[in-house]
Amino acid sequence: MTLAICPGSFDPVTNGHLDIFRRAARHFEEVVVLVTGNPTKTSGLFTVQERVDLIEQVTADVANIRVDFWGGLLVDYTTAHHATALVKGLRSSLDYEYELPMAQMNRRLTGVDTYFLLTDEKYGYTSSSLCKEVVKYGGDVTGLVPDVVVKAMKERLR
């Protein structure tokens, strides 16, 4: 069985992330979207459990996507679950610079490879942090994050 892990903080999940999960699910038999972070800490806008709940809602229609969380070293999770690969999205060369050392470190630690999918151009400027800022000041991010996430962000930020 081929298992891909899509890791990230996802605070909150965006349509750019969702597009990557769905595309990964066409290439691997199973995909786990892994929310990283300490489940007992409330350092982000949403708790780890809230992030998991939102992702579960927006991936419920894809049978081979599951959602989990992890507070440790990513490669310990991939090894324990016999993951085939990590899968991440790349929006630009900035993402590449950020992702390269992590991918190389993870490969050095356990041999796990990271596969990169190029972000759909319509989400090229979408990020969780930018969407949070726009919503905080009253702007509209409809279409950039799932509707259920728009609602949750408004309730939390306004």
Q: Which of 5, 6, 7, 153 binds ligand PNS (CB under 6 A)?
A: 7
78 is an interface residue for ligand PNS by CB under 6 A: no
Between 48-59 and 147-157, two packed helices, what is the crossing angle to 10 degrees?
A: 150
Q: In this chain, which stretch among 52-60, 98-106, 111-119, 135-143 interacts with ligand PNS, using CB under 6 A?
A: 98-106
| Residue of 143, 136, 144 whose CA lies nearest to 153 | 136
Q: Which residues between 106 and 125 bind ligand PNS (CB under 6 A)?
A: 106
8 is an interface residue for ligand PNS by CB under 6 A: yes
One-letter amino acid at 90 equals: L
Q: Is 41 a catalytic residue?
A: yes
115: enclosing H helix or E strand: strand 113-118
105 is an interface residue for ligand PNS by CB under 6 A: yes
Instruction: Indicate the residue among 40 and 158 with the shorter CB distance to ligand PNS.
Output: 40
User: Which residue is it, tokens 């709940």?
Assistant: 53
Task: Name, in order, each residue with C-beta under 8 angstroms of 128's C-beta and a sequence gap of 6 or more.
Answer: 9, 10, 11, 12, 13, 14
Instruction: Indicate the residue among 60 and 73 with the shorter CB distance to ligand PNS.
Output: 73
Q: Which residues are catalytic?
A: 17, 41, 91, 128
